[in-house]
Chains A and B, each alone.
Chain A
Amino acid sequence: MKRYLGNYFTKGCALVMTVAVAAGALTGCGKTEIQEKAETGSVTSEAAEPSSDEELITLTVRITAPDPIPGIQDNRVMKAVEDKFGVLVDYSHSDDSINATSLAAGDLPDIIQVYSTEIDTYIEGGHVIALDDLVSQYGQDIIKNASDSLEFSKNYITPEKFKGTLYGLIGGNYLVKDDVAPQYNYVYGPMVPWNFYAEAGYPEFKTTEEYLDVLEEIQTAHPKTEDGKSVYAFCGWNDWGIWPFIVPYCFSRGYMNGDFYIFDAEGNLQPMFGEEAVLCKESFKMYNQAYQRGIYDPESFTMKYTDYETKRKNNQVLAPQAGGDGYFLIPGSAPVVWEGYGSILAGSCDRVLMISKNCKYPEKAMELINYLYTLEGANLFYDGIEGIDWAMEDGKRELTSETIQERLNNPNYPLETGVGIYHSLVGLSPNTKHEDGNYIDLMTSEKAMKERVTEVDKGFCDYYQVSYPGEAFQKAAEEGKCNIQFFNTTWQALMPDMPDDIKLIKGKIENYSLDFVAKLILSETDEEFEKNWETGNKELEEMEFTEFYRWNQEANQKALEALKSLK
């Protein structure tokens, strides 16, 4: 009997499994309820669970920048938001996989930030709502403080089919155009290690030759670190493309890097390779000269960035690419001091905030977003709470001295307080001016700049008789010794998407460029350098570099024309 039943059991299991497989196959063929609802745009979100407290609403927010730790935000900045709006923010990081699955399943969070180049999918799929009505009803401060970027978004970020309708809100707007916060210090250009530079008697240098002489002298005096490791003037790394080999030189000559081209403050291009590549060739030449002098780290092309950082922090690099403790630019040593870049007209237009169709409380979401476009809101997110983090002093907002020290010395301060970690959400740039005369980011006020000076910086400040290092460059600019340059990159947002054939060419150039630059910099003689330059450019020609550059030039020209019509 048991054996009989046992056989039936086995057969029964087989039948169940077959039915289960068949059922699974049949289920997969049809549309799910979620998919059907997504097509009609009536999906309700499972992600946005209402709070157990009836007065509090939970808004799910997904942002591209991975700053705060995901989850319900419970630091003091968000507590202030909760008290003001009755809203809890459930924060998550954006991720390609997660966004793709959310789009497919129709369960986007209430507020989502996406890159401007990806906005089409969200709009054409009916996943997000048009914001014109919401902004006009609940976004008065957005209209007041970011009208330019609203127009920009409607006309240049919204896909052609829906042009004129507002879907995405751009953050990081400037209230006062062409007035950017001063920097505490400037980091791109011909750097020197201050203590060794002082030891060498503060030698002046203006040309590349003189700069290399200074570094060679320093390296000769200090060839090894305390633990016996070799010191070199220059060092690079191989996992950021050719960025390490062009940025300091080109930035200090008034150019910024793009896609195998550099551009000046007016948006005029110059290629990185080829006959027209003057500045980049000079940059490679400088490093080659350094190599020929024995002051260029030969391991540069076999190291990753993390290896470079280890060397830099171990004081094995005399002239790092982007500054660090104890390294300074010398005022007047280079014609241009790079201040930063951004779209003055259209904020951080490479990404936009949208409200999804799943949002049960779009009015509340818009109220919150509108707050982020106010001075009060920006102040809260960048500087903290009045009375705790900052206070009014002589009619201006100023950080307390304790807060300044806390921000300098406690690396967990942003996570603990929420100050400064939601910058990608905020509608106003921290570098924009407040009504009281200070910039929104109070770490750039005169008081904070002075109190930020550390022992390491003091030597520099005493020598140049300034209150903080950046002031030396501001003075030099006033005296006409250099030009402090901010790059308005609005035109980049107006460039069309790169077509696939141009992307293919770019891929080939990317694969080849690092090898090419390595051969150039590691050339043993000037003649070898010139020969490698010619050979490499011929190879790039065969890869259609000229066509790639010409496409970029034309796109750039069109973008500059479009920019004129915007202004």
Chain B
Amino acid sequence: MKKKKKRQDWVFDIFNYLIIGIITILCIFPFYYVFIYSISDAKLAEQGISLLPKGFSLQSYITLFKLNDIPHAIFISVLRTLIGTVGTVLACSFFAYLVSIPEMWFRSFIYRLCIFSMYCNAGMIPVYLVIKGLHLTNSFWVYIIPGLAVAYYIILIKTYIESLPASLRESAMLDGAGTLSVYWKIVLPLSKPIIATIALFTAVGQWNSWFDNKLYNTKAGLKTLQLVLYDYLNSSSVLQNMSNLDLAAGRASQMTTPMSLKVAITVITILPIIIVYPFMQRYFTKGIMMGAVKG
């Protein structure tokens, strides 16, 4: 039988929806603002935009996609995202599985060493020297190999695996399954929520990453989309600043502005994640909570 709502329940509900509605708008509005700015006329948009776009222009996107490097850069970014995500997920999950097995030698020591790396970082220069010593500079694999083992993800996955019944593993081993079989056929399928979470984190990180490209790779053929856009934006900003000071150049009919390019770059950057996230969301919410419970 449906309970009749009292007056205070109604008040609470209204207040609740109001607050949540406001927070939702506050969360969504920045994305909305960036999107409408990117499709507005750049010169009109400079005068300020509030709720609706001013004019309509895709010139910023056209300008960006006309850059010579863009198609190849997109390919590199997609490749590193795919390979990096799969690599990190497999490496972290397998490592986490191994350190969750009681029979594993030195598992505490290895696991603690892994945790230690979360708190202590040698710094940029030693890391660069290691990367260079491993001949990973000017190589595609610098995007993948250093990011294969991430301590935080290992903790999450290990915690999740430990919540699985030990009897599953034991019965599988009684039936003749080896470590790899147990990992591949039992642990990994059951860990879908946390795996999806890690995959999403990694994919976002790989997609957005540009500093490793800037630091380790100077070859044009290994440039990622983010660095191409970053370099172009820096050049445009400088040119615009120069044109602001140089009155003659400043009067040029500007079809794009640094701000319009920035927002277009932002949209290009976040669009793939926004597209992918709804499919991963159900795993994400479940996984992050289950991984966090025992800590």
Q: Tell me the A residues contacting B by CB distance below 8 Å.
A: 2-3, 5-7, 9-11, 13-15, 17-18, 21, 27-28, 32-35, 46-47, 60, 65-72, 90, 92-93, 95, 97-98, 100-101, 104-105, 107, 184-185, 187, 227, 229, 306, 309-310, 313-314, 322-325, 407-412, 414-415, 421, 443, 452, 454, 456-457, 469
Taken residue by residue from 246 to 267, chain B's Cβ proximity to chain A (1 for < 8 Å, 0 otherwise) reads as: 1111111111100100000000
Residues of chain B within 8 A (CB-CB) of A5 are 178
Residues of chain B within 8 A (CB-CB) of A452 are 248
Residues of chain B within 8 A (CB-CB) of A325 are 247, 250-251
A314 touching B245, Cβ below 8 Å: no
Q: Interface range on chain B: under 10, 10 to 19, 20 to 34, or 35 or more?
A: 35 or more
A14 touching B177, Cβ below 8 Å: no
For the complex, what is the distance from the CA of A93 to the CA of B231, rounded to whole Å? 9
Residues of chain A within 8 A (CB-CB) of B231 are 69-70, 93
Q: Can you show 12 pairs from A to B with CB atoms below 8 A apart?
A: A10-B103, A11-B103, A33-B133, A47-B138, A66-B238, A69-B231, A100-B125, A101-B124, A187-B247, A407-B249, A411-B249, A421-B235
A456 touching B251, Cβ below 8 Å: yes
Residues of chain B within 8 A (CB-CB) of A187 are 245, 247
B129 touching A34, Cβ below 8 Å: yes
In whole Å, how far is A7's beta carbon from the nearest beta carbon of chain B?
6
Which segment of B19-27, B213-221, B268-276 sits at the interface?
Answer: B213-221
A410 touching B252, Cβ below 8 Å: yes
- CB nearest neighbor in A for B137: A46
- CB nearest neighbor in A for B243: A411
B residues 109-142 with Cβ under 8 Å of A? 109-110, 113, 124-126, 128-130, 132-133, 137-138
| In the assembled complex, B145 has its CB within 8 A of some CB on chain A | no
Residues of chain A within 8 A (CB-CB) of B188 are none
Residues of chain A within 8 A (CB-CB) of B252 are 408-411
| In the assembled complex, B176 has its CB within 8 A of some CB on chain A | yes
Residues of chain B within 8 A (CB-CB) of A184 are 246-248
Residues of chain A within 8 A (CB-CB) of B104 are 10-11, 13-14
B234 touching A66, Cβ below 8 Å: yes
| In the assembled complex, B10 has its CB within 8 A of some CB on chain A | no
Selected from B179, B245, B248, B256, the residue in CB contact (under 8 A) with A443 is B248
Residues of chain B within 8 A (CB-CB) of A32 are 129, 132-133
A310 touching B179, Cβ below 8 Å: no
- CB nearest neighbor in A for B135: A46
For the complex, what is the distance from the CA of A21 to the CA of B181, rounded to whole Å? 26
A454 touching B251, Cβ below 8 Å: yes
Known: A69-B235, A100-B125, A104-B125. A14 touches B105 (CB 8 A): yes
A34 touching B103, Cβ below 8 Å: no
Known: A107-B132, A184-B247. A9 touches B180 (CB 8 A): yes
